[in-house]
Amino acid sequence: MRQAAGSMPSNPTRSAAFALVTAVLERRRALDEALDALPGSLQPRDRAAAHRIAAAVLRRLGSLDAVLEPYLRREPSPPATQALRIGAAELLLLGTPAHAAVAEAVALAPRPFAGLVNAVLRKVAAEGPAALEGLDAARLDTPIWLWSAWHAAYGPKVRAIAEAHTRPAPLDLSLLPGVAAPEGAEILPNGTARMAPGTRITDIPGFAEGGFWAQDAAASLPARLLAPSVGQRVADLCAAPGGKTAQLVAAGAKVTAVEKDPHRASRLRENLARLKLDAELVVADAIPWAAEHRGAFDAVLLDAPCTATGTIRRHPEVPLLRRPKDVPKLAATQAALIEAAAGLLAPGGRLVVATCSLQPEEGEAHLARTAALGLVPDPVRPEEVPGLEEAITAQGALRTRPDLWADKGGMDGFFISRFRRD
């Protein structure tokens, strides 16, 4: 972790937040990856607080920069810029007392810029949260290429989608059968237990005993729509971190979970162990693996790798790291995986394909290719998705968006389609 070069040592939380923001914006690392790279000696409370600060900076980067710009004659060095952004986020978004926010940001800044950071943030502190009034946060905090793509796909709903991304997401939990929801949880129509934003899952009574796991309400839908019968052979492709695998095992299926990345596979194994659930875990590339197991499964769930633009509420770095060229590249990977998944099905078998993306190229566009693979659409029925009837598309697929269930805290954006094999 970088040692601040300002006039006094910074505290562990702010130093960690600085390291996270720098890793994302300057080294283009995912926020969770940067979080894992923080020193193991960092206390859990400091780690969580640092993540909260960094996420606020990344989520509202465009708005924060718009507030800071009038006070800057020229762009300062990257370290000074990150210190300014962290200070502004604490002042305007997180309710940190002005003296603490300014002093800690000054401590983060390189010494030659300490005076600048102090002067600018004192002016921002004088304005207070009113500095954000009048700004079009939805536009400022959304890259132009994403706004244009979403406007083409969703029309006026683009603004509600972008506004949903400016707010932290709640913590959603999937429960094992027979496990009571934690105290204070709201039970959503799909059975998800929703906790307030900022809740740490490890602090919830019963976490160590393994009665529940973190899983956005929308992310729980693919496994629910696959609905395996007890004893059915099910392949879960691209399975990590294991939430869907857990759902399938808990439903009584005999699950083979396939994950290409060894590190993610280890996390999947750890998660299943905490939940006391058993699945066959295969560390392999799903495409060649599928070629060796044609027709071997009654059902297949494919949650394909994608741009993850549907998860921006939980991963605010996504719009800052993704580029337009990523979309067709990942769409091609998804098409290859869908073909591989189709080959795994026994006659009459079912396939559910999901991507946590808002980009139509990674969802709706795949529907036209499935007939050539011997797949017949199996439309989603309204009674299967209570409270989400409006998310069912004309083709019988499911398109969730972050602005749905807005009164309940929203949900991730997914495209989910279901098929059966002739």
Tell me if 203 is assigned to a ligand binding site: no
Question: Hey, CA dihedral for 276, 188, 203, 311, is it positive or negative?
Answer: positive
DSSP 368: G
State the amino acid at position 367 in one-letter form.
L
DSSP 351: E
Backbone angles phi, psi at 66, to 5 degrees: -65, -35
Tell me if 125 is assigned to a ligand binding site: no
> Which residues neighbour 276 within 8 Å (Cβ) at sequence distance 6 or greater?
210
- The Cα 177–Cα 223 span in angstroms is 14
Tell me if 87 is assigned to a ligand binding site: no
Instruction: Name the E strands within 313-389.
Output: 345-355, 375-377
Q: 12-27 vs 98-108: helix axis angle to the nearest 10?
A: 60
> What are the helix (H) ranges across 180-311?
221-226, 243-250, 262-275, 286-291
The order of strands in the sheet holding 193-195 is 186-187, 193-195, 171-175, 212-214
Contact of 14 with 96, CB cutoff 8 Å: no
Tell me if 243 is assigned to a ligand binding site: yes
Instruction: Name the E strands within 176-270.
Output: 186-187, 193-195, 212-214, 233-237, 254-259
Q: Is 2 helix (H, G, I), strand (E, B) or coil?
A: coil
- The Cα 233–Cα 346 span in angstroms is 10
Tell me if 349 is assigned to a ligand binding site: no
Tell me if 34 is assigned to a ligand binding site: no
Tell me if 303 is assigned to a ligand binding site: yes
Tell me if 214 is assigned to a ligand binding site: no
Please report where in the chains the tokens 């102090």 appear, as a residue.
118
Give the catalytic positions in this structure: 356
Tell me if 134 is assigned to a ligand binding site: no
Tell me if 240 is assigned to a ligand binding site: yes
Residue ranges of the binding site for S-adenosyl-L-methionine: 238-244, 259, 285, 303
Residue ranges of the binding site: 238-244, 259, 285, 303
